[in-house]
Amino acid sequence: MLVLGIETSCDDTATALVRDGRRVLSNVSTNQDEFHAKFGGIVPEIASRQHVALLSAAVQDALERAGTGLEDVDGIAVSVGPGLIGSLVVGVASAKALALAGGKPLYAINHLHGHIFAAFLETGIEPEYPLLALLVSGGHTQLVSLAGPTRLRILGRTRDDAAGEAFDKTARLLGLPFPGGPEIDRLASRGNPAAFAFPRHRPEGDALDMSFSGLKTSVKYFLETPAGAAANRADVAASFQAAVVDVLVDRLERAASRDQYRAVVLSGGVAANTALAQAFMAWAQRRGLPGLVPQRRFCTDNAAMIAAAADRQREAVRADPRTLSADPNLPFELPAAALA
Ligand code: KG4
Ligand code: ZN
Protein backbone atom coordinates (compact mmCIF):
# COMPACT_ATOMS: atom_id res chain seq x y z
CA MET A 1 0.00 0.00 0.00
CA LEU A 2 1.33 3.45 -0.98
CA VAL A 3 0.33 6.10 1.56
CA LEU A 4 0.65 9.88 1.43
CA GLY A 5 1.23 11.13 4.97
CA ILE A 6 0.49 14.68 6.13
CA GLU A 7 1.68 16.07 9.46
CA THR A 8 0.96 19.61 10.67
CA SER A 9 0.23 19.12 14.37
CA CYS A 10 2.82 21.57 15.61
CA ASP A 11 5.37 23.64 13.72
CA ASP A 12 6.66 21.27 11.04
CA THR A 13 4.89 21.24 7.69
CA ALA A 14 5.58 17.65 6.71
CA THR A 15 4.56 15.30 3.90
CA ALA A 16 5.81 11.86 2.89
CA LEU A 17 5.17 8.90 0.65
CA VAL A 18 5.64 5.53 2.29
CA ARG A 19 5.20 2.07 0.83
CA ASP A 20 3.90 -0.75 3.04
CA GLY A 21 4.47 1.23 6.21
CA ARG A 22 8.23 0.99 5.96
CA ARG A 23 9.85 2.11 2.68
CA VAL A 24 10.14 5.89 2.65
CA LEU A 25 9.99 7.11 -0.94
CA SER A 26 10.03 10.76 0.08
CA ASN A 27 10.02 12.65 3.36
CA VAL A 28 9.60 16.41 3.14
CA SER A 29 9.69 18.71 6.13
CA THR A 30 9.75 22.45 6.20
CA ASN A 31 10.91 23.32 9.64
CA GLN A 32 9.67 26.66 10.96
CA ASP A 33 12.27 27.07 13.71
CA GLU A 34 13.59 30.32 12.22
CA PHE A 35 10.14 31.93 12.56
CA HIS A 36 9.70 30.86 16.20
CA ALA A 37 13.25 31.03 17.57
CA LYS A 38 13.11 34.76 18.30
CA PHE A 39 10.08 34.20 20.55
CA GLY A 40 11.82 31.36 22.45
CA GLY A 41 8.99 28.96 21.69
CA ILE A 42 6.30 28.09 19.18
CA VAL A 43 3.77 30.81 18.40
CA PRO A 44 0.56 28.99 17.36
CA GLU A 45 -0.71 31.73 15.01
CA ILE A 46 2.59 31.84 13.14
CA ALA A 47 2.66 28.03 12.87
CA SER A 48 -0.86 27.91 11.45
CA ARG A 49 -0.19 30.62 8.87
CA GLN A 50 3.04 28.96 7.79
CA HIS A 51 1.23 25.63 7.29
CA VAL A 52 -1.30 27.36 5.02
CA ALA A 53 1.50 28.94 3.02
CA LEU A 54 3.61 25.78 2.72
CA LEU A 55 1.41 22.70 2.66
CA SER A 56 0.26 22.52 -0.97
CA ALA A 57 3.82 22.80 -2.24
CA ALA A 58 4.96 20.23 0.34
CA VAL A 59 2.39 17.69 -0.93
CA GLN A 60 3.52 18.33 -4.51
CA ASP A 61 7.15 18.06 -3.48
CA ALA A 62 6.63 14.69 -1.74
CA LEU A 63 4.87 13.28 -4.81
CA GLU A 64 7.57 14.54 -7.18
CA ARG A 65 10.46 13.27 -5.06
CA ALA A 66 8.81 9.86 -4.91
CA GLY A 67 8.37 9.97 -8.69
CA THR A 68 4.66 9.38 -8.38
CA GLY A 69 1.30 11.14 -8.69
CA LEU A 70 -1.82 11.31 -6.57
CA GLU A 71 -3.48 8.74 -8.85
CA ASP A 72 -0.97 6.08 -7.71
CA VAL A 73 -1.56 6.69 -4.01
CA ASP A 74 -3.67 4.07 -2.16
CA GLY A 75 -4.55 6.19 0.84
CA ILE A 76 -4.09 9.51 2.61
CA ALA A 77 -3.03 9.60 6.26
CA VAL A 78 -3.17 12.71 8.42
CA SER A 79 -2.44 13.64 12.05
CA VAL A 80 -5.81 14.55 13.61
CA GLY A 81 -4.43 15.25 17.09
CA PRO A 82 -3.20 15.89 19.66
CA GLY A 83 -1.58 19.20 18.79
CA LEU A 84 -2.28 22.85 18.11
CA ILE A 85 -5.79 23.25 16.73
CA GLY A 86 -4.85 25.99 14.23
CA SER A 87 -2.06 23.77 12.91
CA LEU A 88 -3.98 20.49 12.84
CA VAL A 89 -6.91 21.93 10.87
CA VAL A 90 -4.66 22.88 7.96
CA GLY A 91 -3.41 19.32 7.47
CA VAL A 92 -6.81 17.77 8.08
CA ALA A 93 -8.57 20.09 5.61
CA SER A 94 -5.99 19.36 2.97
CA ALA A 95 -6.10 15.57 3.53
CA LYS A 96 -9.90 15.58 3.35
CA ALA A 97 -9.85 17.53 0.09
CA LEU A 98 -7.24 15.23 -1.47
CA ALA A 99 -9.12 12.10 -0.35
CA LEU A 100 -12.44 13.35 -1.68
CA ALA A 101 -11.06 14.69 -4.94
CA GLY A 102 -8.97 11.59 -5.60
CA GLY A 103 -11.51 9.07 -4.29
CA LYS A 104 -8.89 7.71 -1.83
CA PRO A 105 -9.35 6.23 1.63
CA LEU A 106 -8.59 8.65 4.45
CA TYR A 107 -6.84 7.56 7.66
CA ALA A 108 -7.07 9.68 10.81
CA ILE A 109 -3.89 9.13 12.81
CA ASN A 110 -3.04 9.96 16.40
CA HIS A 111 0.23 11.87 16.16
CA LEU A 112 1.64 9.94 19.14
CA HIS A 113 0.90 6.57 17.54
CA GLY A 114 2.87 7.86 14.57
CA HIS A 115 5.90 8.44 16.79
CA ILE A 116 5.83 4.78 17.89
CA PHE A 117 5.59 3.34 14.35
CA ALA A 118 8.42 5.66 13.24
CA ALA A 119 10.76 3.09 14.79
CA PHE A 120 9.96 0.63 12.01
CA LEU A 121 10.62 2.94 9.05
CA GLU A 122 13.46 1.79 6.81
CA THR A 123 14.32 -1.17 9.04
CA GLY A 124 12.76 -4.30 7.57
CA ILE A 125 11.69 -5.11 11.13
CA GLU A 126 8.00 -5.51 11.93
CA PRO A 127 6.57 -4.71 15.37
CA GLU A 128 6.21 -7.68 17.69
CA TYR A 129 3.53 -7.61 20.33
CA PRO A 130 3.23 -7.12 23.19
CA LEU A 131 5.40 -4.10 22.57
CA LEU A 132 6.58 -1.64 25.21
CA ALA A 133 7.09 1.93 23.98
CA LEU A 134 8.54 4.96 25.71
CA LEU A 135 7.33 8.10 24.00
CA VAL A 136 9.35 11.20 24.78
CA SER A 137 8.44 14.33 22.88
CA GLY A 138 8.11 18.06 23.42
CA GLY A 139 4.50 17.81 24.51
CA HIS A 140 4.18 14.26 25.84
CA THR A 141 6.11 11.74 27.88
CA GLN A 142 4.47 8.41 28.38
CA LEU A 143 5.11 4.74 28.74
CA VAL A 144 2.81 2.68 26.54
CA SER A 145 1.98 -0.98 26.14
CA LEU A 146 0.75 -2.24 22.76
CA ALA A 147 -1.09 -5.56 22.60
CA GLY A 148 -1.46 -4.95 18.85
CA PRO A 149 -1.19 -2.04 16.40
CA THR A 150 -4.54 -0.61 17.49
CA ARG A 151 -4.57 -1.77 21.12
CA LEU A 152 -2.54 0.78 23.01
CA ARG A 153 -2.64 1.47 26.73
CA ILE A 154 -0.84 4.12 28.78
CA LEU A 155 1.09 2.64 31.71
CA GLY A 156 2.47 5.91 33.03
CA ARG A 157 2.92 9.53 32.07
CA THR A 158 4.60 12.66 33.25
CA ARG A 159 2.71 14.49 35.96
CA ASP A 160 4.09 17.88 34.89
CA ASP A 161 6.63 18.77 32.20
CA ALA A 162 7.26 16.51 29.22
CA ALA A 163 10.86 15.35 28.85
CA GLY A 164 11.36 17.58 25.79
CA GLU A 165 9.87 20.52 27.66
CA ALA A 166 12.35 19.92 30.49
CA PHE A 167 15.18 19.97 27.94
CA ASP A 168 13.85 23.16 26.35
CA LYS A 169 13.34 24.97 29.67
CA THR A 170 16.70 23.89 31.07
CA ALA A 171 18.38 24.98 27.84
CA ARG A 172 16.86 28.41 28.30
CA LEU A 173 18.26 28.57 31.86
CA LEU A 174 21.65 27.81 30.35
CA GLY A 175 21.22 30.58 27.79
CA LEU A 176 20.92 28.18 24.85
CA PRO A 177 18.65 28.89 21.85
CA PHE A 178 15.33 27.15 21.10
CA PRO A 179 14.73 24.26 20.55
CA GLY A 180 16.97 23.41 23.47
CA GLY A 181 17.05 19.60 23.30
CA PRO A 182 19.65 19.29 20.53
CA GLU A 183 21.67 22.15 22.11
CA ILE A 184 21.87 20.36 25.47
CA ASP A 185 22.71 17.12 23.69
CA ARG A 186 25.68 18.82 21.98
CA LEU A 187 26.87 20.71 25.06
CA ALA A 188 26.50 17.64 27.31
CA SER A 189 28.78 15.60 25.08
CA ARG A 190 31.67 17.71 26.41
CA GLY A 191 30.53 17.60 30.04
CA ASN A 192 30.74 15.30 33.04
CA PRO A 193 27.37 13.64 33.78
CA ALA A 194 28.46 12.94 37.37
CA ALA A 195 29.55 16.51 38.11
CA PHE A 196 26.33 17.50 39.91
CA ALA A 197 23.74 15.30 41.59
CA PHE A 198 20.38 16.62 40.41
CA PRO A 199 17.25 14.89 41.77
CA ARG A 200 15.75 11.81 40.14
CA HIS A 201 12.09 12.20 40.96
CA ARG A 202 9.96 9.06 40.79
CA PRO A 203 6.38 9.61 41.87
CA GLU A 204 5.04 6.99 44.29
CA GLY A 205 2.16 4.74 43.39
CA ASP A 206 1.36 1.94 41.01
CA ALA A 207 1.23 3.98 37.84
CA LEU A 208 4.59 4.32 36.16
CA ASP A 209 4.38 8.08 36.25
CA MET A 210 7.25 10.53 35.87
CA SER A 211 7.96 14.11 36.87
CA PHE A 212 10.51 16.55 35.49
CA SER A 213 9.55 19.97 36.76
CA GLY A 214 11.40 19.49 40.08
CA LEU A 215 14.56 18.64 38.17
CA LYS A 216 14.33 21.78 36.06
CA THR A 217 13.68 23.87 39.19
CA SER A 218 16.68 22.41 40.97
CA VAL A 219 18.90 23.27 38.00
CA LYS A 220 17.47 26.80 38.16
CA TYR A 221 18.22 27.21 41.90
CA PHE A 222 21.66 25.70 41.46
CA LEU A 223 22.53 28.18 38.70
CA GLU A 224 21.53 31.01 41.06
CA THR A 225 24.09 29.95 43.69
CA PRO A 226 27.69 31.19 43.44
CA ALA A 227 28.88 27.62 42.73
CA GLY A 228 26.26 27.26 40.02
CA ALA A 229 27.10 30.58 38.42
CA ALA A 230 30.74 29.50 38.22
CA ALA A 231 29.98 25.94 37.08
CA ASN A 232 31.02 24.60 33.72
CA ARG A 233 27.85 24.74 31.58
CA ALA A 234 28.71 21.51 29.81
CA ASP A 235 28.87 19.74 33.20
CA VAL A 236 25.49 21.18 34.18
CA ALA A 237 23.96 20.07 30.85
CA ALA A 238 25.44 16.57 31.15
CA SER A 239 24.32 16.20 34.77
CA PHE A 240 20.78 17.36 33.96
CA GLN A 241 20.63 14.98 31.01
CA ALA A 242 21.87 12.07 33.15
CA ALA A 243 19.04 12.68 35.63
CA VAL A 244 16.42 12.57 32.84
CA VAL A 245 17.96 9.38 31.43
CA ASP A 246 18.02 7.69 34.86
CA VAL A 247 14.35 8.40 35.50
CA LEU A 248 13.31 7.12 32.07
CA VAL A 249 15.38 3.94 32.28
CA ASP A 250 14.01 3.31 35.79
CA ARG A 251 10.45 3.50 34.44
CA LEU A 252 11.27 1.13 31.58
CA GLU A 253 12.82 -1.34 33.98
CA ARG A 254 9.76 -1.29 36.22
CA ALA A 255 7.39 -1.80 33.29
CA ALA A 256 9.46 -4.66 31.87
CA SER A 257 9.66 -6.40 35.24
CA ARG A 258 5.86 -6.30 35.63
CA ASP A 259 4.83 -7.72 32.26
CA GLN A 260 6.33 -9.74 29.43
CA TYR A 261 7.22 -7.88 26.24
CA ARG A 262 8.67 -9.06 22.96
CA ALA A 263 10.26 -5.77 21.93
CA VAL A 264 10.78 -2.24 23.16
CA VAL A 265 10.73 1.08 21.31
CA LEU A 266 12.04 4.53 22.27
CA SER A 267 10.51 7.31 20.20
CA GLY A 268 9.54 10.97 19.93
CA GLY A 269 11.76 14.00 19.51
CA VAL A 270 13.82 13.33 22.63
CA ALA A 271 14.70 9.84 21.33
CA ALA A 272 17.16 11.78 19.13
CA ASN A 273 19.16 12.41 22.31
CA THR A 274 22.49 10.61 22.09
CA ALA A 275 22.85 9.73 25.78
CA LEU A 276 19.24 8.59 26.11
CA ALA A 277 19.35 6.42 22.98
CA GLN A 278 22.60 4.81 24.18
CA ALA A 279 21.29 4.16 27.69
CA PHE A 280 18.07 2.77 26.23
CA MET A 281 19.85 0.34 23.91
CA ALA A 282 22.18 -0.79 26.70
CA TRP A 283 19.19 -1.36 28.98
CA ALA A 284 17.29 -3.34 26.29
CA GLN A 285 20.33 -5.51 25.79
CA ARG A 286 20.65 -6.19 29.53
CA ARG A 287 16.97 -7.13 29.56
CA GLY A 288 17.38 -9.37 26.50
CA LEU A 289 14.73 -7.45 24.55
CA PRO A 290 15.08 -6.27 20.94
CA GLY A 291 15.33 -2.46 21.27
CA LEU A 292 14.50 -0.05 18.51
CA VAL A 293 15.05 3.72 18.19
CA PRO A 294 13.88 5.50 15.01
CA GLN A 295 16.54 6.93 12.74
CA ARG A 296 17.21 10.48 13.85
CA ARG A 297 15.24 12.06 10.98
CA PHE A 298 12.20 10.01 12.03
CA CYS A 299 12.48 10.86 15.76
CA THR A 300 11.24 14.43 15.52
CA ASP A 301 7.93 15.25 13.86
CA ASN A 302 7.64 13.93 10.31
CA ALA A 303 4.92 12.65 8.00
CA ALA A 304 6.47 9.26 7.18
CA MET A 305 5.56 8.10 10.69
CA ILE A 306 1.92 9.06 10.09
CA ALA A 307 1.84 6.93 6.94
CA ALA A 308 3.57 4.10 8.85
CA ALA A 309 0.82 4.13 11.49
CA ALA A 310 -1.95 4.19 8.86
CA ASP A 311 -0.58 1.11 7.17
CA ARG A 312 -0.74 -0.87 10.41
CA GLN A 313 -3.95 0.50 11.87
CA ARG A 314 -5.96 0.49 8.62
CA GLU A 315 -9.73 0.09 9.08
CA ALA A 316 -9.62 1.03 12.78
CA VAL A 317 -8.57 4.56 11.81
CA ARG A 318 -10.48 4.91 8.52
CA ALA A 319 -12.30 8.24 8.46
CA ASP A 320 -15.05 9.90 6.42
CA PRO A 321 -13.47 12.70 4.34
CA ARG A 322 -16.69 14.71 4.52
CA THR A 323 -16.87 14.87 8.30
CA LEU A 324 -13.43 14.29 9.87
CA SER A 325 -12.36 17.04 12.24
CA ALA A 326 -9.12 17.75 14.05
CA ASP A 327 -9.06 17.14 17.81
CA PRO A 328 -6.35 19.01 19.73
CA ASN A 329 -7.05 16.82 22.79
CA LEU A 330 -7.44 13.52 20.97
CA PRO A 331 -7.51 10.65 23.53
CA PHE A 332 -4.54 8.29 23.24
CA GLU A 333 -6.50 5.04 23.07
CA LEU A 334 -8.63 4.24 20.03
CA PRO A 335 -12.37 4.16 20.84
CA ALA A 336 -13.76 0.68 21.49
CA ALA A 337 -16.08 1.05 18.48
CA ALA A 338 -13.08 1.35 16.16
CA LEU A 339 -11.68 -1.96 17.42
CA ALA A 340 -14.85 -4.01 16.93
O1 KG4 B 1 8.39 14.85 18.85
P2 KG4 B 1 8.82 16.25 18.64
O3 KG4 B 1 9.51 16.60 17.36
O4 KG4 B 1 7.59 17.22 18.73
C5 KG4 B 1 6.53 17.01 19.59
O6 KG4 B 1 5.58 16.30 19.19
O7 KG4 B 1 6.64 17.53 20.74
O8 KG4 B 1 9.71 16.64 19.89
C9 KG4 B 1 10.30 17.88 20.02
C10 KG4 B 1 11.12 17.89 21.30
C11 KG4 B 1 11.65 19.25 21.68
O12 KG4 B 1 11.38 19.48 23.05
C13 KG4 B 1 13.16 19.14 21.44
O14 KG4 B 1 13.93 19.94 22.28
C15 KG4 B 1 13.37 17.66 21.73
O16 KG4 B 1 12.25 17.02 21.16
N17 KG4 B 1 14.62 17.15 21.11
C18 KG4 B 1 15.67 16.70 21.83
C19 KG4 B 1 16.68 16.37 20.88
N20 KG4 B 1 16.19 16.62 19.63
C21 KG4 B 1 14.92 17.08 19.79
N22 KG4 B 1 15.85 16.58 23.16
C23 KG4 B 1 17.03 16.11 23.58
N24 KG4 B 1 18.05 15.78 22.75
C25 KG4 B 1 17.92 15.89 21.41
N26 KG4 B 1 18.93 15.56 20.59
ZN1 ZN C 1 5.69 14.85 17.91
At 85-103, the pLDDT tens digits run 999 999 999 999 999 999 9
- Over range 258-284, report the average pLDDT: 97
The 3-state DSSP class for residue 321 equals coil
Res 32 pLDDT > 90? no
Instruction: For residue 164, report the distance from its CA to the centre of ligand 1, in Å.
Output: 5
Report residues whose beta carbon is within 6 angstroms of any ligand 1 atom.
Answer: 10, 137-139, 164, 167-168, 179-182, 185, 268-270, 272-273, 300-301
What Å distances lie between residue 108 and 5, 97, 116, CA to CA?
Answer: 10, 14, 16
Residue 4 φ then ψ, to 5°: -90, 120
- Over range 304-328, report the average pLDDT: 98
Q: Please name which ligand lies nearest the alpha carbon of 11.
A: 1
Regarding beta strands 2-7 and 151-157, do their DSSP bridges make them parallel or antiparallel, or are they unpaired? unpaired
Write down the pLDDT at residue 208.
Answer: 94
Write down the pLDDT at residue 43.
Answer: 85
Q: Among residues of the chain, what percentage have pLDDT more than 70?
A: 100
Residues sharing a CB contact under 8 Å with residue 330, sequence separation 6 or more, in sequence order:
80, 81, 82, 110, 111
Write down the pLDDT at residue 158.
Answer: 96
